[in-house]
Amino acid sequence: MDVAVAGSSGFIGSALVRSLEGAGARVLRLVRPGSPLGPDRVAWDPAAGSIDAPALEGVGAVVNLAGKPVGPHRWTAAHKAEVLGSRTRSTRLLAETIAALKQPPEVLVSASAAGYYGDRGEEILTEQSVPGTGFLAEVCLQWEAATQPASQAGIRVAHIRTGIVVAPDGGALGRMLPLFRMGLGGRIGSGNQWWSWISIEDEVGAIVHLIGAAEAAGAFNLTSPNPVTNAAFTSVLARVLGRPAALAVPKFALRAAFGEFADEGLLSSQRILPRRLEEVGYPFRAPELEPALRGLLAG
């Protein structure tokens, strides 16, 4: 199968491309202006609303992972507009383009995020839970809605509400490791907020599974079936590294440094379960945090 991937050079996209190519798929990378072109590259410019549509004729699946990172830094009005616009413009362009193809793909797997649910404390969240409030929740709502041209054209659409992706070379864990290896790590704020995490292996595996699962449409939580609190996450990470984790970053310091991002990106609590992913038969390879971290950090 030919699979087109937007966001192929990103943290998750790079791992996905390796997995797909390793399984024998031909991957078409959507690349922006200034990037080298070639037989497996498709030119697009979401800001300008342009894309090489003929190059997508006959692809079996499209995976959309494009979007400006949300942090970690202060959110200005301009940055928030870029975060929202980068997701909705690129998604709408892809959805409209593939909907108009003579040979459209069978499926569009399109990124969303756990931020859909907002800050929900101890509440157990599934795909049936209502959306939350706040900037990230609103972004996710509009992000998912931007796929409508594809679903209206009869293309199967799967929205992947991804949690904290755990990998040693990127994401939250990649930023945490230097401090924890020096023995300077610890919980964030009270540590009581739930962190719904997923290993990079399961993130990629779930995307590949959704491409092939003919009945998989709608929202899917891409999180481990065993979420943990931030305090538990940091404790396990310290134990795996053989380092102490006695320090803590107080809320006031986070808010002083990061403003709104601190509350929505660091201190919010989302206790998410991947009910629909399990219903479509995805077999988790790293469902428990400690074995997952030991496997990722071995050597």
Q: Which CATH superfamily is domain 2-297 in?
A: NAD(P)-binding Rossmann-like Domain (3.40.50.720)
Say whether pLDDT at 128 is over 80: yes
Q: Where are the domains of the chain?
A: 2-297
- List pLDDT tens digits, range 147-181: 999 999 999 999 999 999 999 998 999 999 999 99
Average pLDDT, the chain: 96
pLDDT of residue 299: 59
Say whether pLDDT at 14 is over 90: yes
The model scores a pTM over 0.95? yes
pLDDT of residue 136: 98
pLDDT of residue 298: 86
- Reported as a pLDDT band with limits 50, 70 and 90, residue 192 is very high
Say whether pLDDT at 132 is over 70: yes
Task: Write out the DSSP string of the chain.
Answer: -EEEEETTTSHHHHHHHHHHHHTT-EEEEEE-TTS---TTEEEEETTTTEE-GGGGTT-SEEEE-------SS---HHHHHHHHHHHHHHHHHHHHHHHT-SS--SEEEEEEEGGGG---TT-EE-TTSPP--SHHHHHHHHHHHTTHHHHHTT-EEEEEEE-EEEBTTBHHHHHHHHHHHTT--EEETTS-SEE-EEEHHHHHHHHHHHHH-TT--EEEEES-SS-EEHHHHHHHHHHHHT----EEE-HHHHHHHHTHHIIIIIS---EE--HHHHHTT---S--SHHHHHHHHH--
- List pLDDT tens digits, range 68-107: 999 999 999 999 999 999 999 999 999 999 999 999 999 9
pLDDT of residue 20: 98
Percentage of the chain lying above the pLDDT 70 cut: 100
- List pLDDT tens digits, range 21-54: 999 999 999 999 998 888 999 999 999 999 999 9
